[in-house]
Structure 1
Amino acid sequence: MTNKLYYFLILILCLTSCKTENKIEGNFLKKSQTEKIDTLVNRYHNLNRFNGVILVFHDNSIIYDKSFGLADYENNRPFSNKTTFKIGKLSELITARIIHGMAENNKFQLSDRISKYLPEIDSDLTINDLLNHQTNLPSIESLKEEYPDLKYSTIEYANLSNVSSTRSEDSELDYNILGELIENISNKSFQENVTDLSEKVGLENTYFEKKDSSLAVGYLYHNYRGDGLELQTSPQYNPVTRFSSQGIKSTPYDLKKIIDLNSDNKLDIQGYLQNDGFSYSVINNPETNICIIVLSNFRHPVGGEIANSISAIIENEEYNLPLERKRVEIDKSLLKDYSGLYSLNEQVDLEVIDENDSLFVMMGPNKIHLIPQSSNQFFMEQMDASMRFLRNKEGLVNEVVLLDGFLEGNKIERK
């Protein structure tokens, strides 16, 4: 099951104003390109899929730097250049920099086995294996499901992984083990190591643990009370499990300094913290000297879509805007073409019904109204989801795309 289908099913189970701050703009972008980026990001913001900061560099010059929405809606707090975000998987960039710095100072070699320094871990894995996610360790979540009564410990989970791993994935354990290594070698806490790195390379507001009123508030946007889509402050996560793999907070300006330490590396990282209300994306292209950083305090993981579209605008290439969630008038005769059964999987069918000049979809016992937003795409009021109907070469509707708040989604065939 793909991530987008998983996200769509979560939305089914949930049955779920723009303020722009101009800062610095270089001369690299044409006015028309800047306007296109503004339109793009405003569309995502108005759809409540993005809320945060966009920072774009060409070489070392800022060519786009704007914020959208608020860092804290309850207290009407705007974003500033000191606002920090939970940066999820981007934390690995900072943890990796600390590890490489230790190796450069001959604290260890990257080819060394991790058990040489953490003998309590029974493994032949090397430090390089962990850095490059070449371990086949399972995710923390999958181990929690397998051992629900076991309290999380990086060391214990690492040892369980040796007997539990059945598939390859980029496990958070890889970088949490590296965090344990950092603390063991330095005899300092991980936070102290982040502080040391910050002083060395000039990071102004990057940390793992500290009291910080500049941290943006994370939000979820879904139908959590049954009254339609609305914002909800996200629950707090467990910093112990996030640790050195996903637990760092930072600003886009500090992230650019970290990226510059490895400026020859091509980066394309995107993701979200599922329960924490934050999402992120970084694209760094050494060939074009373009770096795009997208940080959001909304969970919806569209940072990659936004960053890729911004890249396309800069390169004068085609890109797609998500459709507005507004009713448009369409030819009612089209509705009959779309009605029928669509197979979600072997056990589940979606029935689309043409009734009283309207379209509905049956999802289990729920009859959901589909509202036209184009001639072949319809959105659902109670969740950020849509259905786009596709025709084959003969002009017959043979597929539907399930869009769970993304530009693209999962295609399911008509029966």
Structure 2
Amino acid sequence: MKNQILFLILLSLYCISCNNETEQQSETIHEFKISEIDSLLKRYHELNRFSGVVLISNKESNLYNKSFGFANYEVKKPFSESTAFKIGEISELVTSRIINEMAANGDLQLSDEVSKYLPEMKTEFTIADLLNHKTNFPDIATIQKQYPNLNYSTIEYANLAEVNSNKPGKSDLNFNILGLLIEKVSRKSFQENIFDYAKRLSLKDTYFQKTASTQEATGYLFYNFRGNGLELQESPVYSLEAAFSSRGIKSSANDLAKIIYSKPDINVEIDGYLSNDGFSYSIFYRADNGIAIIVLSNRRHPVAKEISNAINNILKGISYKVPLRRNPKAINPEILSNYIGKYKLNEFVKFEVIKEEDSLFVLLGPNKVALIPQSENQFYMLDSDASMRFEEDSTNKVNSVVLLNGFIKSDERALKIEN
């Protein structure tokens, strides 16, 4: 009997030891992943492609919550948990949830035609059509190009879009119409509706119009705007009226996590950038594992999705790519001859790569731009964030070059047409 008791005690101690070892291994793995994520984000920050906040959450707690760079570079103001970013297309997530709440409360039906509430609109599309981008309206920028002297008006643009709706695709105009619909049905401004929504979800830093107490990140562009090489420049401010309920909401990473987890059964994947306003963003959430990845940047570089994809791979323990440093790498000059030749991007864009002594240059119209090796087949340009990666066919001959503009990947591929 004593032997049996002793055996059970030893067995219990062994099991406790095993559990402790497993927990320690789990913590070690967790620390290793955090180190990988830190290294990834530091690389993007060093390259001036990312400045902002990354939040990884599992609903119960934040697994990772760090910032890189400054909310304002002129005064070196750091990011805080209250720093709000312009979230661009993520605004649609908030607008759609307000609309769906109104439908759930019986204030409207998604099958209703928009003209039922906004009779001045000529469209026969339903609210559901707008929510699901099934109108085929052109985007606001396209209409502005067609009518450059026309001041922005959602109603007027929508009526013009109705005439020109012939091409499928997402349009920011759809959600601006929904913003007007929210105002009409609620009899409150869009700002008041955002305030009410924020109150229901206990959001602290989500709003449409800035107030004196809000802490908002300044957006930056990074390019050669003075001829002195790559520099940061504060971005211009977009039109609040045109951005409205499709692109105009600001929010913090913590608030976005609350928004995601308010509907934990719904997958969310939104990414993009404000082309002239210095912000890039990505939110990635899967209901099956409950993990949310939120990347908010006050840089125009549209790499937030690239970053969130890499973080997701790190969490899964699978391979991912890190952008190359913009540091010269010594390579065998004999291989440079493989890259010389004429290339064609499309009917209108052709260029030539030449070799002079032990260096490569690309001829872009009248300009001769030096190509500096980052690796044996990838070269960067000093005065822009562009790189060129030469690729081979199955016979190991260079047959194309991928044009990279601050990305790891790019769809811009020029074919070699002449050696």
**TM-score interval w.r.t. the shorter chain?**
over 0.9
Q: Which amino acid letter does the alignment assign opposite residue 85 of structure 2?
A: F
**Change over 3 Å in CA distance of 1:29–1:277 after alignment to 2:** farther
Q: 1 CA distance for matches of 2:288 and 2:364?
A: 47
Q: 1 CA distance for matches of 2:140 and 2:154?
A: 9
Q: 1 CA distance for matches of 2:249 and 2:70?
A: 21
Query: 1:165-216, CA deviations, whole angstroms, 9 ceiling, x for partnerless residues?
Result: 2311211111000000011111110000001111111111110013245101
Q: 1 CA distance for matches of 2:27 and 2:187?
A: 47
Alpha-carbon distance, 1:33 to partner: 0.7
**Change over 3 Å in CA distance of 1:207–1:28 after alignment to 2:** farther
C-alpha contact 1:29 1:63 (8 A) present in aligned 2: no
Tell me the equivalent position of 2:45.
45
Alignment of 1:31-180 (within 5 A): 31-180=31-180
SS for the counterpart of 1:30 is helix
Tell me the equivalent position of 2:407.
406
SS for the counterpart of 1:224 is coil
C-alpha contact 2:135 2:165 (8 A) present in aligned 1: no
Q: 2 CA distance for matches of 1:394 and 1:44?
A: 34
Q: Which amino acid letter does the alignment assign opposite residue 304 of structure 2?
A: G
Q: Would you say how many aligned residue pairs link Structure 1 and Structure 2?
A: 390
Query: 1:69-93, CA deviations, whole angstroms, 9 ceiling, x for partnerless residues?
Result: 0101111110000001000000111
Alpha-carbon distance, 1:58 to partner: 2.1
Q: Which amino acid letter does the alignment assign opposite residue 277 of structure 1?
A: G
Give the share of equivalent positions with the same residue, in percent: 52
Comparing 74-83 with 26-35, greater Cα deviation is found at 26-35
Query: 1:16-61, CA deviations, whole angstroms, 9 ceiling, x for partnerless residues?
Result: xxxxxxxxxx969611111110010110000000000000012432
Q: 2 CA distance for matches of 1:354 and 1:287?
A: 53
Tell me the equivalent position of 1:295.
296
Tell me the equivalent position of 2:23.
none
Kindly indicate whether structure 1 or structure 2 has the higher relative contact order, using CA contacts under 8 Å at least 6 residues apart: 1
SS for the counterpart of 1:71 is strand
Query: 1:209-262, CA deviations, whole angstroms, 9 ceiling, x for partnerless residues?
Result: 132451011100001111110000001111000000000011011111111122
Q: 1 CA distance for matches of 2:158 and 2:263?
A: 29
Alpha-carbon distance, 1:275 to partner: 1.2
SS for the counterpart of 1:272 is strand
SS for the counterpart of 1:262 is coil
Q: Which amino acid letter does the alignment assign opposite residue 175 of structure 1?
A: F
Q: 2 CA distance for matches of 1:187 and 1:365?
A: 59
Q: 2 CA distance for matches of 1:60 and 1:113?
A: 40
Q: 2 CA distance for matches of 1:355 and 1:210?
A: 55
Q: TM-score, normalised by structure 2?
A: 0.91
C-alpha contact 1:176 1:245 (8 A) present in aligned 2: yes
Tell me the equivalent position of 1:207.
207
1:379 maps to 2:380 = yes
RMSD after superposition: 1.2
**Structure 1: which 5+ runs fail to align?**
1-25
Alignment of 1:254-403 (within 5 A): 254-403=255-404
Query: 1:392-413, CA deviations, whole angstroms, 9 ceiling, x for partnerless residues?
Result: 1211111111011100122221
Task: Please list every run of at least 4 consecutive aligned residues from structure 1 whose deviation after the TM superposition is greater than 6 angstroms.
Answer: none
Tell me the equivalent position of 2:228.
227
Q: 2 CA distance for matches of 1:183 and 1:129?
A: 19
SS for the counterpart of 1:93 is helix
Q: 2 CA distance for matches of 1:321 and 1:99?
A: 40
SS for the counterpart of 2:324 is coil
SS for the counterpart of 2:77 is coil
Q: 2 CA distance for matches of 1:119 and 1:28?
A: 62
C-alpha contact 2:59 2:261 (8 A) present in aligned 1: no
**Change over 3 Å in CA distance of 1:31–1:131 after alignment to 2:** same
Query: 1:361-391, CA deviations, whole angstroms, 9 ceiling, x for partnerless residues?
Result: 0111111000000000000001001000111
Tell me the equivalent position of 1:23.
none
Q: 2 CA distance for matches of 1:144 and 1:363?
A: 31
Q: 2 CA distance for matches of 1:395 and 1:242?
A: 49
